[in-house]
Amino acid sequence: MVKKTNEEKSSKKEKKSSKKDDIPDWVTDEIQNAKFEKPEELKRAGYILEIYDADNKIDAQLYDPVEDGRHIVTLDLPKKIKTSDLEKGVVYEFIFDQHKAPLSKKVSEFLQKEKEIDMNAIYQFDLKSMELLDVGSSESSNEDLEE
């Protein structure tokens, strides 16, 4: 049996502490290779927060949450929807597919304990269609009250 010198021990501790912020390969492998289940079609009303022309995506604020409790999601746009036709801040009805890839208990527990991240699945949202909703302006509702 070979005893390690104090120098060897301290260098090992330094490596350990510098790796504390890193996510182990087995966690990143599972996340990158996650298998998505059959998509679930969802219909939610909300509005566009941000438009990403280069990536053909939007961030949308939804009035009702998706499965994991989020109200803000990034939606991948289909080719038929042009980002130039979209408006921020107006109410749309979004119809989209929610793809879910569950993570193993081991990965979920690691993320919870080491990174303080509550995540038991990865989600992807693909927009299928959207329709501008005619939500009456405040002027029209005030006119109705005055009559």
pLDDT in tens, 81-99: 999 999 999 999 999 999 9
Residue 110: count other Cβ atoms within 10 Å of its Cβ.
Answer: 18
**Domain enclosing residue 62, as ranges:** 34-135
Residue 128: its H or E element: strand 121-132
Closest-CA residue to 131 (of 98, 97, 95): 95
pLDDT classification of 22: cutoffs 50, 70, 90: confident
Number of domains in the chain: 1
pLDDT at 134: 76
State residue 136's pLDDT score.
61
Long-range pairs for 24-30: beta carbons < 8 A, 24 or more residues apart? 24/110, 26/107, 27/107, 27/110, 27/111, 30/103, 30/104, 30/107
Compute the CA torsion angle 32, 35, 37, 39 (nearest 10 deg).
40
141: in domain: no
| pLDDT band with cut points at 50, 70 and 90 for residue 144 | very low
pLDDT at 141: 40
Write out pLDDT tens, residues 27-64: 999 999 999 999 999 999 999 999 999 999 999 999 99
Q: Is the whole model's pTM more than 0.75, yes or no?
A: no
Residue 113 domain-assigned? yes
CA 17 to chain centre: 29
pLDDT, the chain, mean = 85
Q: Is 55 among the domain residues?
A: yes
Question: Quick check: is 13 in a domain?
Answer: no
Tokens 């929807």 locate to: 81
CATH of the domain at 128: 2.40.50.320
